[in-house]
Structure 1
Amino acid sequence: MRNIEIKAKVSDLKQLLEKAKILAGQEAIIIKQHDTFYNVPNGRLKLRRFVENGEGELIFYNRPDSEGPKLSSFEKVSLQSPSVAGLNKVLDKALGAKIDVKKTRHLFLVEQTRVHVDEVEDLGSFMELEVCLKPEQEISEGEKIAYDLMEKLGINKQDLISGAYADLIK
């Protein structure tokens, strides 16, 4: 699976949420997430736990740590409760947990793009775009969609950040 991603710092959360709502044509889906990142030799491996229902996802992904639209390749498996907590213990013992990221995500769907407006504990407000590429789509088409949405949402190039939230938490 592939998508084109960008991540940016948000200075006016209320304004961004309103713009995203207009583009999506509906209210956000609110998701409380707790991500644990593990030590791995390449890429990133995280266990995402959904606070409300105890379910989760194990996600491995590879993407460059650069600002602006970038290709992300990933594999993901959904997990049912109560095995999520047990899996976290096993992964922590086997690989070592690197860091935890807790956030409240406002999810908007705009055509083939997932717009995430995140309030990250101890970090602040951020926005992610994930343009979900269709198998036949070129990377350049996904980048164009990302840039177009950045403009519509009022995201400036100087707001862009590289890496993951886990890289920003000290």
Structure 2
Amino acid sequence: MSRNIEIKAYARDLNILKKRILGLNSDDANNVLILKQEDVFYNLPECSSGKLKLRKTDSSQELIYYDRKECNEPSLSNYRKCLVPAELEDLLKNALGTWGVVKKVRTLIMVGQTRVHLDSVEDLGNFIELEVVLNENQSSDDGKKIALDLMSLLEISENDLISVSYVNMLNEKKNNIK
């Protein structure tokens, strides 16, 4: 299983964050990807602590299972993912049912081994995620140090950190409207 250390935070201004990131990463200024993503979350047995989602983009579909404690500090995420054919979406929907959908426009910029996501999430707002992709020789503490250092360089405050996933935020918002 692959591992990374993640943080998620509110973003006041995605353009300012993008400039800061590109300032750290001047060689990679041309390696900015803009992705339209839709994540469909499937029901899992109650004994499962993770989440299963189908991520759809213009060019592919990926099935992703991940297990991460929801907290507002850099935390370990274990995950697996694989490319899947379009037909799998209906099969999963019929077999498991869905419990949430997240639509977003994501700007992806790599900073060393960290995937920086600038996300504009439909019905929620703007966020930044840092995913420090760990190699097999790195500990969680190594990844947390990288995440904390990058948070400092990008001026991400601990007060801006979010403890829950986008899908949980959307579902909570939906439940509060009812």
In which range does the TM-score fall when normalised by the shorter chain? over 0.9
Aligned equivalent of 1:159: 160
Of stretches 107-116 and 34-43 in structure 1, the one that deviates more from structure 2 is 34-43
Letter in 1 for 2:141: S
Aligned equivalent of 1:44: 51
Q: CA deviation at 1:24?
A: 2.7
Aligned equivalent of 1:135: 136
Aligned equivalent of 2:120: 119
Partner Cα separation in structure 2 for residue 163 and residue 62 of structure 1: 13
Q: CA deviation at 1:18?
A: 1.1
The 3-state SS of whatever aligns with 1:155 is coil
Q: CA deviation at 1:155?
A: 0.5
Aligned equivalent of 1:62: 67
Q: Any stretches of 5+ residues in structure 1 without a counterpart? A: none
Q: CA deviation at 1:163?
A: 2.1
Runs ≥4 residues deviating over 3 A? none
The 3-state SS of whatever aligns with 1:166 is helix
Q: Any stretches of 5+ residues in structure 2 without a counterpart? A: none
Aligned equivalent of 1:10: 11
Aligned equivalent of 2:88: 87
Q: TM-score, normalised by structure 2?
A: 0.89
Q: TM-score, normalised by structure 1?
A: 0.93
Partner Cα separation in structure 2 for residue 23 and residue 77 of structure 1: 31
Q: CA deviation at 1:87?
A: 1.2
Alpha carbon RMSD of aligned pairs, Å? 1.0
